[in-house]
Homo-oligomer: A and B are copies of this chain.
Amino acid sequence: MSYIKPLSKLIDELTALPGIGSKSAARLAFHILKIPKEKAYAIANAITDAKEKVFCCSICKNLTDTEPCSICSSEKRDRSVICVVESPKDVVAIEKTREFNGLYHVLHGAISPIDKIGPDDIFIKELVQRITPEIKEVIAATNLTIEGEATAMYISRLLSPLGVNVTRIANGIPVGGDLEYADEITLSKALDNRRKIL
């Protein structure tokens, strides 16, 4: 005998989520059976609600529940800079720094020949279409991985001929980082990119 059907169905659905094994799924399922009905329904509603209300902004492709998104429609943002990132999570991470006041463009991925993801599989064409004489700079803020670097390089080669200044976020030792534990490539890049102390 294993679990009764509605319970095993719930466990199966939860096991399919990333980072949740069968043991955690069972624990979550029992938790859901234990909590008040309204709370369990709130979880189910939050899932369907998110699926129904969240979509990609037609301009920047960031996740949004308004069209265009709050950043694209804001009058306070600097419309001459576009920060290109791989995922919507990166937008939240950059917004948290409060350092950037321009617009975004979310690629929803990076070029990765191994995973058969080419330039046409992510929103690069849509980025090119956004380039107007108004745009002065495009910051390639893709991840500092091989795929992110390749994507940044691709974007740079594509946009530079259009007269856009394409920049890349800095490589180096993280704040609080220990040189002893930094990998060789990071350390050599940090040396390469050294700057004068004012």
User: Chain A residues in contact with chain B, CB under 8 A?
Assistant: 1-7, 9-10, 12-14, 16-20, 24, 26-33, 37, 39-54, 63-65, 69-71, 87-89, 92, 95-96
Cβ A51 vs Cβ B37 within 8 A: yes
Copies of this protein in the assembly total 2
Classify the interface of chain A: helix, strand, loop or mixed. Answer: helix
> How far does the Cβ of A88 sit from chain B's closest Cβ, in whole Å?
7
Q: A30-B89, A71-B1 are in contact. Are A48 and B54 (CB under 8 A)?
A: no
Cβ B1 vs Cβ A95 within 8 A: yes
Cβ B10 vs Cβ A19 within 8 A: no
Cβ B33 vs Cβ A27 within 8 A: no
Q: A1-B95, A7-B63 are in contact. Are A50 and B28 (CB under 8 A)?
A: no
Cβ B43 vs Cβ A4 within 8 A: no
CB nearest neighbor in B for A52: B6
Q: Which residues of B contact A48 (CB under 8 A)?
A: 40-41, 44
CA distance A95 to B5 in the complex (A): 16
| Of A20, A43, A65, most B-chain CB atoms within 10 Å | A43
Cβ B4 vs Cβ A46 within 8 A: no
CA distance A4 to B67 in the complex (A): 12
> How far does the Cβ of A94 sit from chain B's closest Cβ, in whole Å?
10
Q: Nearest 8 pairs between A and B by C-beta? A: A44-B44, A1-B95, A13-B46, A10-B46, A6-B53, A44-B47, A10-B50, A6-B50
> How far does the Cβ of A123 sit from chain B's closest Cβ, in whole Å?
15
CA distance A143 to B7 in the complex (A): 23
